[in-house]
Amino acid sequence: MKSDSAHSLQDLRERSPLLKPLNDQQLSAVLHGDGPAMVLAGAGSGKTRVLTTRVAYLMTEKNVSPNSILLVTFTNKAAAEMTNRVQQMTGKRPQFSGTFHRLCARILRQDGILIGIPPTFSIYDDDDQLDLVKSILKKLNLSVKEFNPRLMLSMISNAKNELLSPKDYQIFAKGKIQEAANRVYQLYEKELDKNGAVDFDNLLNKTVELFRKHSNILQKYQHMFEYVLVDEYQDVNKAQYLLTKMLAAPQNNLFAVGDFSQSIYAWRGADYRNMLALKTDFPGIQEYRLEQNYRSTQTILNAASAVISHNTSHPILELWTEKTDKRRITLYEAETEKDEAEFVTHHIQQFKKTLPYSEMVVLYRTNAQSRVFEELFLKYGVPYKLVGGVRFYARKEVKDVLSLLRLFVNEHDSVALSRIEKLGKKRLQVYLSWLASTKKFPEKTLDILDAVLEASQYLTLYDERLEEDAERLENIQELRSVASEFSDVPSLLENVALVENNTLPDSSSSNQQQDAVSLMSIHAAKGLEFSAVFLVGMEEGLFPHSRSLMDKHQLEEERRLCYVAITRAKEHLYISYTRRRLLYGAVTGSIVSRFIAEIPDHTLERKGGEHPVGLLSGSQHLTHPQHISRRFSQLSDETLERVLKGEIDVESFLDM
DNA sequence: CCATGCAACATTTTT
DNA sequence: TGTTGCATGG
Ligand SMILES: Nc1ncnc2c1ncn2[C@@H]1O[C@H](COP(=O)(O)OP(=O)(O)OP(=O)(O)O)[C@@H](O)[C@H]1O
């Protein structure tokens, strides 16, 4: 198959409409026969196109049953998009197409009982996890002042990402903080067990455990999934790596696609070196490369590649393009974040003459930055769509109602229990006895939800005449309408836990429009593309984020994030930063991001501010000594703490 | 036992 | 800035 000459590739393209829109490199990858393969390719080179086309090709030309295809991606959105494309091409959908977490949830519902996980298990999100950690700290008589629950949780999560069980961790834990984390971890896992609950990390880890302990179950799934295809492989963690390896065996029909330079999830255990590990674990693996970029102009690619070339710890894949549009990247120095947003809004309105809003996006490092843009968009009537941010399902009233439902499904869920208890002991008692004494519950999900609301008298907590309460009640209505779409409560709960940060589909009219500008974090933009990209807030401390300045690897991850941001743009790229910015309510002087200095000058066209870029322009303005010194002392304290705990090695500490 | 108010506090990124 | 937790008072 792989020895096809260019001539017969052309033949194939002629014969199959499916294969027509592919270049030679893409086509060879799609046509890969059996056995392991990986596609290494930079941004916009058609990795996703190759993946979806290969699935279609397997199903139509190779007579592979859709039921034996496993297609894994990292977000539900990407999964939906891929499923769609495959369905358009073939009219069929793979047996499974979704995230690792969803796959694991499904497997554990089915077979988790073998390792003590009941089919009714609750899924704990980070709020639930934090609640659990806090309650354990209390139980252990450890002060939350001394042992920050968030820190405890992240240490536990890091351990889990390394697949360290509580027993394993016990051996490594050294020093006060780690020993405390160790004690918490031991209890934490016990509590999860008792509660019949699984946290995000355990969805993956417990599935690995299940496969290791019960080879017959593993075999069942191996048999089911003859072909395993994974997108964004640079972002798999240890458990995900093992899962793909286990599931692909014994035929090893593994097809992994990725780009080192787009690895942006190291902070949650992802490791791009897993892509290199494939070469060791599958010595015969066939490697494909795609080098033509179809998305961006040469100018944009030049900028992206100049930035990423400052990274030294991973390979960088080359790209070229035929889009030779000479338009330069606009760099704008804004006075304040409001000025920045005005600038962006103005240009969006200009672009509207030639582009739909949906082809424009504002990208930022942190979700908090979306606020000013929302305000100005509202003011100027620009329709927008906020992706991510304050999660609908993280809102208090929504979580409360979900906790009521969780208790309905799983009475052992102590986190849900104490949440309801906070609403009043009596209310909890009444609710529990209703659960215990009711013989027959309604059938429909929505009817159950309504019965639950009635029994708990939850709605009486709010007064619709108060603005704030009215909004909460509205959110509950929204949840009701979501509920009505599910056939049973467990699947409602699972979806709510696993579906990524859907924004509140609130009533503000600008949210309802289909043609709208997107507002999202760079992380959320991975895999997407837009004609016009506004990359905002390019300031030291914000991007790269202050919490990553101390470690070389974290800084490189920020740079990869910058690469991802730049490469989202098809034609127009606007980059901006401010001279001073409101941070937690206080004015702070800003410093231009170092990444801007890494972009070649000739690709840029400067607007705003008269000061040369790359200097500390604006920083002499309006500095607030208190604020700055507080932030700096926090930084060094925390750094020191991490060095002491061994999270940062001494060498890189001295490097800083 | 519960509601209310104020102060401290914290903030990256998300499955 | 928005939230969360704690202290106060009913
Ligand atoms: N052979 C081709 N001819 C024309 N356009 C193509 C071709 N291959 C891909 N494209 C287009 O290039 C763009 C980028 O493709 P795709 O999203 O698959 O790239 P990617 O490598 O997955 O990108 P990223 O790494 O950013 O996720 C898409 O708009 C796609 O339709």
* Average pLDDT across chain A, whole number: 85
**pLDDT at residue A613 above 60?**
no
Catalytic residue among A238, A385, A406, A568: A568
Q: What ligand 1 atom has the least distance to the C-alpha of A51? A: 18
At the top level of CATH, the class of A393-502 is mainly alpha
Q: Which residue has the higher pLDDT, A225 or A1?
A: A225
Q: What is the pLDDT of residues A142-190, one digit of tens each?
A: 877 778 888 889 999 999 999 999 999 999 888 888 888 999 999 999 9
**pLDDT at residue A299 above 80?**
yes
Same fold: A300-391+504-607 with A393-502 = no
**pLDDT for the residue numbered A457:** 85
Lowest mean pLDDT among A99-108, A146-155, A507-516, A517-526: A507-516
A227 Ramachandran zone, left/alpha/beta (phi>0; psi -120 to 50) = beta
CATH 1.10.620.20 assigned to A300-391+504-607: no
A231 belongs to the catalytic site: yes
Return the CATH fold of A2-108+205-292.
Rossmann fold (3.40.50)
The mean pLDDT of A525-540, rounded to a whole number, is: 94
**pLDDT for the residue numbered A49:** 94
CA/C1' separation A379–B9 (Å): 31
Q: From the Cβ of A371, is strand C under 7 Å away?
A: yes
Lowest mean pLDDT among A216-225, A433-442, A451-460, A491-500: A491-500
Long-range Cβ contact pairs of A345-354 (< 8 A, separation 24 or more): A345/A373, A345/A376, A345/A377, A345/A380, A345/A382, A347/A532, A347/A534, A347/A574, A348/A382, A348/A517, A348/A532, A348/A534, A349/A380, A349/A382, A351/A531, A351/A532, A351/A572
How far apart CA A160 and CA A567 sit, in angstroms, is 32
Q: What ligand 1 atom has the least distance to the C-alpha of A49? A: 18
At the top level of CATH, the class of A122-195 is mainly alpha
> Strand C within 7 Å of which CB atoms in A 116-135?
134
Name the closest-CA residue to atom 1, ligand 1. A22
- From A30, A295, A321, give the residue whose CB has the most ligand 1 atoms within 8 Å, as the site to mutate: A295
The mean pLDDT of A240-269, rounded to a whole number, is: 94
**pLDDT for the residue numbered A508:** 40
Q: How confident is the model at residue A654 (pLDDT cuts 50, 70, 90)?
A: very low
Q: Which residue has the higher pLDDT, A585 or A350?
A: A350
Catalytic residue among A209, A231, A337, A556: A231
A73 belongs to the catalytic site: no
Domains of chain A, residue spans = 2-108+205-292, 122-195, 300-391+504-607, 393-502
**pLDDT for the residue numbered A511:** 47
**pLDDT at residue A624 above 70?**
no
**pLDDT at residue A625 above 90?**
no
Q: What percent of chain A has pLDDT over 70?
A: 89
In this prediction the pTM is: 0.87
**pLDDT for the residue numbered A439:** 84
The CA-atom distances, in angstroms, between A369 and each of A150, A479, A548, A589 are 23, 27, 18, 16
Catalytic residue among A262, A345, A603, A639: A262
The mean pLDDT of A316-337, rounded to a whole number, is: 90
ipTM: 0.91
The mean pLDDT of A382-398, rounded to a whole number, is: 81
